[in-house]
Amino acid sequence: MLLSVLLLLVVVSGAQTAYYGIVYTYSAGDIQQDALPTLNSFKLSFSSCEELDSWFCEGNCSALDLYVIDERRGEWCQKEYIVNIPDTILTILDAAADYLLLSANWTENRNGIVSLATAPLIDLRNRSDINKPNSSPQTTILPLLRVPSNCQRNINLLVSDPDGDTIRCRYAASPECETCTPPSVLSVSPSCTLSFSPTNSSDEGPYAVQLVIEDFPRQTITLTNSSGSQEVKTSSDVISKIP
């Protein structure tokens, strides 16, 4: 059974906005009677703080906080929205999906990425190994990174998992992206290293990088929903994924 746990929409100004990226993460607390406290974080980056016009949230968003994490005026701005949902009803334990809807245009880039699309996956069923629901991998965003075109460069992404799961990174694929053309000058490893290979001057310019981070249990576990139905997950099965 798939339920829309949280529906959010970002509206940004102008037709030619300079969107740099998003990271969505979630963490779940312990089940308390008929409620499950969850904390949702949305880190967004644009060319300036003025690009983000308005934010709409459908659901219990009474505890929504905004933080301007960092800004280099005229180049980029990163904001974080924290949505604390203290009384999520236990029926969401039947869910294995989250719908995150945004409207933005990527900054001009060489690999033809225009519109933003995301398809995060959450799973809030109770895990047999930790006796609580899963929390997603945790990471931050790289809003803008410059590298010399003639120098090999490896960028180790900062990722962790609160449940001790195995984390793997990959490029996004449909429907996780509107246009899914990976940068020709970059490669990403499952261990979450982004590698740039030296290239010639004709390949210089900005590239949009669309990554997905997934967590896998280190051992076989059982996920149980609110009605008692169970599903087995092995170390080869994804529990959640975030953009």
Q: pLDDT at position 225, please? A: 84
Q: pLDDT at position 233, please? A: 96
Cα separation of 53 and 11, whole Å?
A: 6
| CB burial readout 132-145, b (16+ within 10 A) else e | ebbbbbbbebbbbe
Name residue 206's amino acid.
P
Q: In what order do the strands lie in the sheet with 211-216?
A: 166-171, 211-216, 240-242
Q: pLDDT at position 96, please? A: 54
pTM, full prediction? 0.86
Q: pLDDT at position 42, please? A: 84
Q: pLDDT at position 109, please? A: 94
Q: pLDDT at position 21, please? A: 87
Other C-beta atoms lying within 10 Å of the C-beta of residue 60:
15
Helix (H) or strand (E) holding 34: none
Q: pLDDT at position 90, please? A: 43
Q: pLDDT at position 194, please? A: 94
203: its two tokens: 């390949």
Q: Give, as one character, the DSSP assignment of residue 149.
A: T
Cα separation of 137 and 215, whole Å?
A: 6
Residue by residue, pLDDT tens for the chain (243 residues) are 333 344 455 555 544 568 888 898 988 877 776 667 778 888 888 887 776 655 655 555 555 666 667 777 767 888 888 877 655 544 445 555 555 666 778 889 999 999 888 888 888 888 999 999 999 999 987 778 888 998 999 999 999 999 999 999 999 999 899 999 999 999 999 999 999 998 888 999 999 999 999 999 999 999 998 788 899 999 999 999 999
Q: What is the dihedral of CA 144, 190, 167, 219, to 10 degrees?
A: 180
Cα separation of 57 and 124, whole Å?
A: 20
Q: pLDDT at position 53, please? A: 53
